[in-house]
Amino acid sequence: MSSSHLSHVPSQCSLRALDALTFIQVGIEVGIPFLAIYLQSVHWNATRIGTALAAAGFAGMFAQMPLGALIDRLHHRRELYALGAVLAAAGSVAIVRLSSFPQILVVQILLGVVSAVFPPAIAAISLGMVGRDGLDRRIGRNETFNHAGNVVLAALMGLFGYAFAPSYMFYFAAALSLAAAVRVFCIRAGDINHDWARGANGVTIKSENHSARDGAGLTRVLADHRLIVFALSVVLFHLANAAMLPLAGQRLSVGHAKAAPLYMAICIIAAQLVMTLVASPASRFAGTLGRKRVFLVALGVLPLRGLLFALNPAPFFMVMVQLLDGISAAIFGVVSVLVVADLTRGTGHFNFTQGLIAAATGIGASLSTVVAGFWSSGRDSMLPFSCWRAPRCSFSHWQCQKQN
């Protein structure tokens, strides 16, 4: 019997607790976005800051699939989430208390691994609570609360750092992490169907060849050409998307060096606000129009955004263009989970496959920044007509000035 025919209605208390967890998730993943600001305030050089950030990113990317497989097998998903939140709190405090490069590097690796726990755990708990029939609406709601939390909590952390000291951002993050560790237990264990949560059909396999059946199912999942195509699409999506905002930031800095950080902050907040508004409708359209059609909208927005960024360097225009990122990112956040749920239905490998797609996301984003950095600062022999190499370019007059 499929999940859609099983009687399972989660309590309002559990649903509100899930809303709260998705809202404060950014607070327990604070290490990566705010670390550069803090380390710069304690006089770290750019090389060490970049290495620390990269360590967290790579650790999280490599941890995605093993943790996804663990979440598939584990019934105590709330406890795993709480453990990750406590470790995130400890890591946030350790960043402030420790000072040496090796120590911070170890903490960043820990935070990178821990940050890979939260998205699949939230998705698994959501699927386990509402089943396949309710997943479209639930994921849209999750994304709405998540992006709203990004705006509110990022602003609060920035205010804490501005009003007191940069280190207070991490104390605030630690407090949020501990609150999440407590709040997750407001989701009642009985409201989570553990077979639904791993993408199974609601019948727990307890035979002696349990592992053999899981292995066979995993092989079928990985051999599914639809999953391969989708994973490649995810890599290409983030290859095109990840470096676009940093490159726009570089362009904003030309002639607006003092105001560039403010413009960048406005770009980020504006996109997050759009994501908050778009996530829920995207989930509804994904259910009525189909996943592929909605995902094609996100893919179509990318070249349009890149073209518009190239047309006009005016700060106001670039902020308006960045609103398109909110549309594509909101759609991707919703559709990626729904597609994985569709492709792994009945296999019991929902969270492992989520980890695979998250790894594809990391690969695409990493390649994007590397390729864009190489392209924008490439040698003259490779980019003889490039206008991207600031400050050699005058974007306002669309002329490249050759530097002797």
Report the distance separating Cα 335 and Cα 165, nearest Å: 39
Look at residue 69 and tell me whether its pLDDT is greater than 80.
Answer: yes
Around 312, how many Cα atoms within 13 Å sit in the side-chain half-sphere? 11
For the chain, report the end-to-end CA distance as a whole number of angstroms. Answer: 74
Instruction: Tell me the average pLDDT of the chain.
Output: 81
pLDDT at 157: 78
**pTM (predicted TM-score):** 0.80
Mean pLDDT lowest among 43-57, 245-259, 379-393? 379-393
Give pLDDT tens digits for 275-286. 999 999 999 999
Look at residue 327 and tell me whether its pLDDT is greater than 70.
Answer: yes
Look at residue 336 and tell me whether its pLDDT is greater than 80.
Answer: yes
Report the distance separating Cα 9 and Cα 190, nearest Å: 10
pLDDT at 63: 93
Mean pLDDT lowest among 73-77, 262-266, 307-311, 318-322? 262-266
| CA 308 distance to own-chain centroid | 25
Look at residue 340 and tell me whether its pLDDT is greater than 90.
Answer: yes
> Region 259-265: what's the mean pLDDT?
67
pLDDT classification of 204: cutoffs 50, 70, 90:
very low
Mean pLDDT lowest among 60-69, 221-230, 382-391? 382-391
pLDDT at 233: 95
Tokens found for residue 120: 């699949």
pLDDT at 248: 77
pLDDT classification of 4: cutoffs 50, 70, 90:
very low
Contact 126, 22 (CB under 8 A): no
Q: List Cβ neighbours of 102 (8 Å cut-off, separation of 6 or more).
A: none
More confident residue, 27 or 79: 79
Fold of the domain built from segment(s) 10-194: Growth Hormone; Chain: A; (1.20.1250)
The residue ranges of every structural domain in the chain are 10-194, 219-376
Please classify residue 32 by burial: count the beta carbons closer than 10 Å to its beta carbon, then call 0-12 exposed, 13-18 middle and 19+ buried.
middle
pLDDT at 170: 86
Give pLDDT tens digits for 22-44. 998 866 665 455 677 778 778 78
Give pLDDT tens digits for 376-400. 655 443 333 333 333 333 333 333 3
Contact 84, 111 (CB under 8 A): no
CB count within 10 Å of CB 160 equals: 18
Look at residue 401 and tell me whether its pLDDT is greater than 50.
Answer: no
More confident residue, 189 or 36: 189
Give pLDDT tens digits for 161-178. 778 877 888 888 899 999
Give pLDDT tens digits for 114-137. 989 999 999 999 999 999 889 999
Report the distance separating Cα 173 and Cα 162, nearest Å: 15
DSSP string for residues in 25-87: GGGGGTHHHHHHHHHHHTT--HHHHHHHHHHHHHHHHHHHHHHHHHHHH-S-HHHHHHHHHHH
pLDDT at 381: 37
What length is written for the chain?
Answer: 404
Give pLDDT tens digits for 81-121. 999 999 999 998 998 898 889 999 999 899 989 989 999 99
Report the distance separating Cα 236 and Cα 230, nearest Å: 10
pLDDT at 329: 92
